[in-house]
Each structure stands twice: as C-alpha cells, then as structure tokens.
Amino acid sequence: MKQKIAISLLALTLCISTVVPVWAASGSTDRSVCGNQWYNFTPQKRGGSYNTKEAVRAIQVIMSGIDTHLYEEVMNCGGFDGSFGPGIESAVRNCQITIFKNDPSQWDGKVGPNTWRQFYRSISGPVSGVYSGYYSYQPSYKTGISSYHIRQRVSNASWSVNVPSQGWTTFEWP
C-alpha cells in the first residue's frame, strides 16, 4: 500500500512539474508580462484591415471607464457597437490626450502598441485568484460604467471584456 501511494505521489509530482511551466507560460498575473502582451495586441484604427469588432468593442468599453466625457463620447457615436468610425477615432484621440498628457506625438486616434499598454495600465488586477478558469481585472477608476470587467483565461491567456448589456466578448489572443 505504501509503495502504491509513493508511486502515485511521484506520478503526481511529475505531472505537476510538466503542467505548471506550460500554464505559467500561457497565463500570468505578472503585470509586466501582461503589459507586454497588451503592447503586442493588433493595432486598431479607422478603416484598418485588421480591425475586429471584438477589439473595437473592448476599446470602447475601456475608454468609457477612463473618463466620464469619454463614456459620453462613445455613447454618442453608437455605444459598444464594435465599429471604428470617425466618432471613435475622435474619442480615441481625446483619450490619448488624457493618458499621454505630455506627448502629442501619441495623439493620432489609432490604438497601437503604446495606447494598448496604457489601456492595460488603466486597469487594476488581478483582483483575486483564479475563478472559473480566469484571472479577473477591474478598472482602477470609477466613471461611466460600473459593470466593466476584464478577464484573462488561464488556459490560453486570451483576454475578454464584459460589454454592458451584451456579455463577455474575447478581444485578443497573445
């Protein structure tokens, strides 16, 4: 009996030592690792050929949490519709003026690497351990919408945002 327990423990140890490095590489709570993931997200811009409705929807939700006037701007040009038109381009530019106060070179209305990274810095988290396979994040500010949350799936490190009245939508895979 003791031999069976010892063999089972050895097998479990080998299994954990194989799985944990894979898990650690796919999902991480380290803020610098996650920030680098966001820096490498697909750029989004008006008329961009790589735009996705999901990523634009995430941008709309994140901006809405940064400042009340940005929330109103997003609502005035279609809400969380996933469309990157002239109104969202203007809202992104105004957001960039807020988050890059002293760097006008960043005020281009496009969501590229630096803007994605600043969006990540605008959230706090993870706020708890793993829950239902996700790390959860929340905005570090209190404006616009209160049900806004971001989560990262542990198994594949994909990112999702909770779009008000639409539910969860996955917007990026590292």
pLDDT along the chain (174 residues), means of 10: 39 30 42 76 93 91 83 89 95 94 96 92 70 76 59 83 82 73
Half-sphere exposure of 118 (CA within 13 A, CB side): 21
Q: How many domains does the chain have?
A: 1
Q: Is residue 21 situated within a structural domain? A: no
Q: Is residue 39 situated within a structural domain? A: yes
Q: Is residue 103 situated within a structural domain? A: yes
> What gap in Å lies between CA 20 and CA 13, rounded to an integer?
10
pTM of the model: 0.74
Please name every residue paired with 111 in a beta bridge, in sequence order, or none if there are none.
44
Q: Is residue 60 situated within a structural domain? A: yes
Q: Is residue 23 situated within a structural domain? A: no
Please name every residue paired with 163 in a beta bridge, in sequence order, or none if there are none.
167
Q: Is residue 74 situated within a structural domain? A: yes
3-state secondary structure the chain: CHHHHHHHHHHHHHHHHHHHHHHHHHCCCCHHHHHHHHHCCCCECCCCCCCCHHHHHHHHHHHHHHCHHHHHHHHHCCCCCCCCCHHHHHHHHHHHHHHCCCCHHHCCCCECHHHHHHHHHCEECCCCCCECCEEEEEECCCCCCCCCCEEEECCCCCEEEEECCCEEEEEECC
Q: Is residue 6 situated within a structural domain? A: no
Question: Does the CA dihedral 103-138-59-120 come out positive or negative?
Answer: positive
Q: Is residue 3 situated within a structural domain? A: no
Give the residue numbers spanning the domain of 54.
28-172
Long-range contacts of 87-92 (CB under 8 A, 24+ apart): 88/46, 88/56, 88/59, 88/60, 89/45, 89/46, 91/60, 91/63, 92/59, 92/63
Instruction: Say what the pLDDT of residue 38 is.
Output: 84
Instruction: Say what the pLDDT of residue 86 is.
Output: 96
